[in-house]
Amino acid sequence: MAFIDYYKILGLEKKASAEDIKKAYRKLARKHHPDLNPNDKDAHLKFQQINEANEVLSDPEKRKKYDEYGENWKQADQFEQARQQGSRTGPRSSYSTGQDDEDYSDFFESLFGSRFGGERNAGGRGGQPPKFRGSDYTTTLEKTLRQAYSTHQETLQIHGKNVRITVPAGIYDGQVIKLAGYGAPGANGGPNGDLYITFKIMEDPVFKRLENDLYTSTEIDLYTAVLGGEILVSTLEGKVKMKVVAGTQNGTKLRLKGKGFPVYKQAGQFGDLIVTLIVKIPTNLDEKQMDLFRQLSSLQPKN
């Protein structure tokens, strides 16, 4: 995987606070969301990078490793272990402040290998063959909006075995989940790589999702728009009643609190459902009905 500067992706300094990261993520995710850029591949890629950056920098433990090891943060634990072993066996002064960057990079690569291939763990001393970490795997998993609405089980076949994973409610398009140890097998006793699953949420014919809010439209007849009343509105959990006030205009937007999409990994929290009302003009009126409209029209004040 190519190195991504997560701070640069979010437009932040390394000293940014957790609140700075949260605000930057929300602003950029809204700007580059696939729903707002349906045919923009660059925006889709940017959205994935923004999510990846937020996933790391919003987690204090991951951020600490990233700040110290940069692109190699995923191997931080292995590196620390190797460094501790090295201090006990007396390796060359690879960590001294006087060492040049090239020597440090060479030593780091001797432990973990190139960033583009399988990574090597400490080994090879005392006649023992070096251990190599397996490469990472990547895959894409498609979900409907309705599937992403609920927490559910998914069975994947990895290395010829069925592996059951839990997909949390509220997962979003472009989100990446890591399954540690489900990548390519390591060599000479080295650890397996990881599996990165990118979720693709397909468009829904009824609802449009923007972050945790859902958008839909529904028709109302002219009489309900003029006189007011109640209508039934579809949600992802079934139909609910919505009140329409007298004199409602075509294109009016109404908000149903808590009837949107579940917030990822925040149980009991939901976005809102925004409903656009489309006033349906009656057609095929008979002469009596037309006459009534003429009478109404004659009663309108003249300018």
pLDDT, tens only, 59-82: 898 888 888 877 777 777 776 666
Residue 271's pLDDT band, with cuts at 50, 70 and 90, is very high
CA distance 217 to 122: 60
Residue 291's pLDDT band, with cuts at 50, 70 and 90, is confident
CA distance 300 to 71: 71
Residue 47's pLDDT band, with cuts at 50, 70 and 90, is confident
Q: What radius of gyration, in Å, describes the C-alpha atoms of the chain?
A: 28
Residues 239-278 as b or e (16 or more Cβ within 10 Å = b)? eeebebeeebeeebebebeebbbbeeeeeeebbbbbbebe
- On the question of pLDDT at 41 being above 80, the answer is no
- On the question of pLDDT at 176 being above 50, the answer is yes
pLDDT, tens only, 138-174: 888 899 999 999 998 888 887 778 888 889 999 988 8
Adjacent-strand bridge partners of 141? 199
Residue 140 in tokens: 């894409």
Whether the CB-CB separation of 166 and 153 falls below 8 Å is answered with yes
As a whole number, mean pLDDT of residues 6-24 equals 91
Between 8-17, 55-64, 98-107, 201-210, the lowest mean confidence (pLDDT) is in 98-107
Residue 301 in tokens: 């004040």
- On the question of pLDDT at 278 being above 60, the answer is yes
Whether the CB-CB separation of 199 and 171 falls below 8 Å is answered with yes
224 residue type, one letter: T
